[in-house]
Chains A and B, each alone.
Chain A
Amino acid sequence: MVEENLKLAYGENSDLIKEKRIAGVQALSGTGACRLFADFQKRFSPDSQIYIPVPTWVNHHNIWRDAHVPQNTFHYYHPESRGLDFASMMEDIKNAPNGSFFLLHACAHNPTGVDPTEEQWREISQQFKVKGHFAFFDMAYQGFASGDPERDAKSIRIFLEDGHLIGCAQSYAKNMGVYGQRVGCLRTVCDDKKQAVAVKSQLQQLTIPMYSNPPIHGALIVSIILGDPELKKLWLKEVKGMADRIIGMRSALRENLEKLGSSLPWEHITKQIGMFCYSGMTPEQVDRMTKEFHIYMTRNGRISMAGVNTGNIGYLANAIHEVTKSA
């Protein structure tokens, strides 16, 4: 993998890169990276389980299930505040057996858009140290969440500073818009270069009987962009542009709802981050959105903010207000 790619996730001056302690293989976007890790986990830590946040991207459950790794859950989303249930999350981390494997969303949690603060990440990292837990980060939105890739990788930086040997699934689907090209990466941080070589060779033993080698086209696109300073600069501008548009839509949606006189709290729309907003609407309210207003969203109340634009935001706000005002 091109060094620029490593620097993006692990930092410009990472010693880990210099010391070649990162075992990495190209994967089929985020899904492929998670599945590869799950298969690797099953093979080399056969007695382990995976702790998955509630809620999470639905396919996470399918991935670890098909890899035959037993699943547990940990508290994450707090419905009442539409924010993070930090206390319960820390309880679950403390109560899990030492050395448990945890799936963490590096930024822009899917589906809630709720992320721990930097301070909270530090506490989580410390607790992981105490318990010897393994942190596996799914990073599907680096740069796409705040507009700043460095900032979006903060959780990972914190864990690395604290000495954790993390795993990380990276996707370029959203932040480079190469969705259908299936470009991603799986990496694990190892004790030393020798182990990194060994781990990489074993990861390949899992990919070879799945698809032999990964598709070149999308990976070349990403490599060229990251390897060329001018193109990389342009990309950083474009990804910030995408993030800013979404952040703008969040503000506008909240404003619209408040202007319509909704008595319900809507700060979560702007506090949440990334592509998705966990609106708090019930399945029944979502059904009304679809039947009465022809607005399509998942029944857990998740809205893709990327689908919102200045042309439809008024209509959307009105619909949300209509179905929720009697709540």
Chain B
Amino acid sequence: MSVSGDHSNSVFANVIQAPEDPILGVTVAYNKDPSPDKLNLGVGAYRTEEGKPLVLNVVRKSEQLLVNDPSRVKEYLPITGLADFNKLSAKLIFGADSVAIQENRVATVQCLSGTGSLRVGGEFLARHYHERTIYIPQPTWGNHPKVFTLAGLSVKTYRYYNPNTRGLDFEGLLEDLGNAPIGAIVLLHACAHNPTGVDPTSDQWEHIRLLMRSKGLLPFFDSAYQGFASGSLDADALSVRMFVADGGECLTAQSYAKNMGLYGERVGALSIVCKTAEVATRVESQLKLVIRPMYSNPPIHGASIVATVLKDRDMYDEWTVELKAMADRIISMRKQLFDALQARGTPGDWSHILKQIGMFTFTGLNADQVAYMRKEYHIYMTSDGRISMAGLSSRTVPHLADAIHAAISNVA
């Protein structure tokens, strides 16, 4: 069948090619590179010592159970998603003994991983909350400003990272949040800040909490690394639980992409902790109205895997062991890289490699140094100097250390 020749001008003839995503662009360039020494430290996905993606054993077991159960069907989930999954997810982040959960003050809806949870939460706030501005840390994950802008919020920033110390600009953070209008929304990375790996201490979190509550600032937590950062699910949820414990309200976006390795299945949850159970019920009803015209209901597969793991004591325990192993491997890479730089006498203070936490290290390398490392050493990272520790192995640490040493020595 051929189309008749009339290629009338498309109504979308004015559409120009969008720029490539900078992070994915790193992988594209890496793939093109023929060098056997090449190293991809761009994308934030966990890799094993052998440089391979990892499907957790407990996930494989769970999938087998699901596939082998003949009573399972593929019917639509409710708009809010899988009920078990929602309850278990809330317990995971807020704690099994959470008063807010016991008092039915938490509205939880299954969403498409962290991104989907942030977007649904943002849309809800744009419609129903009196303050339309969200403050995001500087820097933050590249997709955050886009998500909230498309959700209908206006985006401002607050100081976060101090390049001189390669740590937290705590004074700047307090000042900026102190100057925010009453009631403004504030995005907080629950742990393992992306891209810097710099987290407030628990004292600093307490300080932030007091300031925010005194100004009625609404916390919106992005929890993408619970358990993956320190190896402890509870420790990585401390910031969130601190805020919930004071009886106040907050939003939390949860992702299972990294901590259960379910990346492409798109599994996450949005929880809104409210003052009363009655408010939570009404909030949930409005969340449904955001979701229905977006995609009707969320995908079943990934959430079913998570629910299967979380509700079975043995599988849960097995998961925590595998999770800790991933976190430990990354922590070990930090130590090895730090030691390698010390051994080479690389100029500068590299202790931030040990102090930062989570998947990423903000090296402090500038764009020229990053370009030099790509050209001379075939090492790929984003131009802000962020490296994914998950992409390293004992075998490749020396090569990276050599490259950093050379870049520091040769490029201003």
Query: A residues touching B (Cβ–Cβ < 8 Å)?
Result: 11, 13-16, 28-29, 31-32, 35, 44-45, 59, 62-63, 65-66, 99, 132, 134, 157, 160-163, 165, 173, 177-182, 188, 190-192, 195, 197-199, 201-202, 204-206, 208-218
Contact = CB atoms under 8 A, between A and B. Distances in A.
Given A35-B295, A198-B16, A199-B12, A181 B3 contact: no
A78 to B, nearest CB: 28
Contacts, number: 164
Contacts of A16: 3
B112 to A, nearest CB: 4
B296 A59 contact: yes
A209 B119 CA distance: 7
A182 to B, nearest CB: 4
Given A160-B3, A190-B12, A191-B7, A180 B146 contact: no
Contacts of A65: 293
Interface of B: 1-18, 20-21, 74-77, 111-113, 115-116, 119, 143, 146-147, 149-151, 264-266, 289-290, 292-302
B75 A179 contact: yes
A199 B146 CA distance: 19
Nearest to A220: B264
A206 B15 CA distance: 13
Please name the 10 residue pairs, one residue from A and one from B, whose CB atoms are nearest each other, closest first: A28-B295, A211-B112, A62-B293, A180-B300, A163-B6, A216-B264, A217-B301, A209-B146, A201-B18, A31-B296
Contacts of B7: 163, 165, 191-192
5 contacts: A59-B292, A163-B5, A191-B10, A215-B299, A217-B265
Given A163-B6, A178-B74, A209-B115, A197 B266 contact: no
B294 A209 contact: no
Contact of A180 (B8, B12, B75): B75
Contacts of A62: 289, 292-293
A13 B3 CA distance: 11
A258 to B, nearest CB: 34
Contacts of B4: 161-163
Given A177-B74, A198-B17, A212 B3 contact: no
A62 B290 CA distance: 9
A237 B75 CA distance: 21
A66 B294 contact: yes
A215 B147 contact: no
Nearest to B144: A209
A14 B1 CA distance: 6
A190 B10 contact: yes
Main secondary structure of the interface of A (DSSP, over half): helix
Given A31-B294, A162-B4, A198-B18, 13 more contacts: A13-B1, A28-B294, A45-B12, A59-B292, A173-B76, A180-B297, A206-B150, A211-B112, A215-B265, A215-B266, A215-B301, A216-B265, A217-B302
Nearest to A208: B143
Given A35-B293, A201-B17, A208-B143, A157 B266 contact: no
Contacts of B289: 62
Contact of B8 (A35, A165, A177, A201): A165
A215 B21 CA distance: 19
Of B17, B20, B265, B289, chain A has the most CB atoms within 10 Å of the CB of B17
Nearest to A189: B10
Nearest to A16: B3
Contact of A44 (B8, B14, B149, B266): B14
Contacts of A201: 17-18, 20
Contacts of B8: 132, 163, 165
B212 to A, nearest CB: 25
Nearest to B19: A201
Contacts of A29: 295-296
A179 B301 CA distance: 11
Nearest to A61: B293
B11 A180 contact: no
Contacts of B302: 215, 217
A245 B47 CA distance: 49
A163 B151 CA distance: 36
Of B1, B5, B8, chain A has the most CB atoms within 10 Å of the CB of B1
A14 B298 CA distance: 33
Contact of A211 (B5, B20, B77, B116): B116
A161 B3 contact: yes
A205 B18 contact: yes
A209 B150 contact: yes
Given A161-B4, A180-B300, A197-B17, A31 B11 contact: no
Contacts of B143: 208-209, 212
Contact of A209 (B9, B76, B147): B147
B299 A198 contact: no
Contacts of B77: 180
A188 B15 CA distance: 12
Given A195-B10, A195-B13, A212-B143, A163 B301 contact: no
Of A15, A29, A215, chain B has the most CB atoms within 10 Å of the CB of A215
B81 to A, nearest CB: 10
Contact of B294 (A165, A173, A204, A210): A210
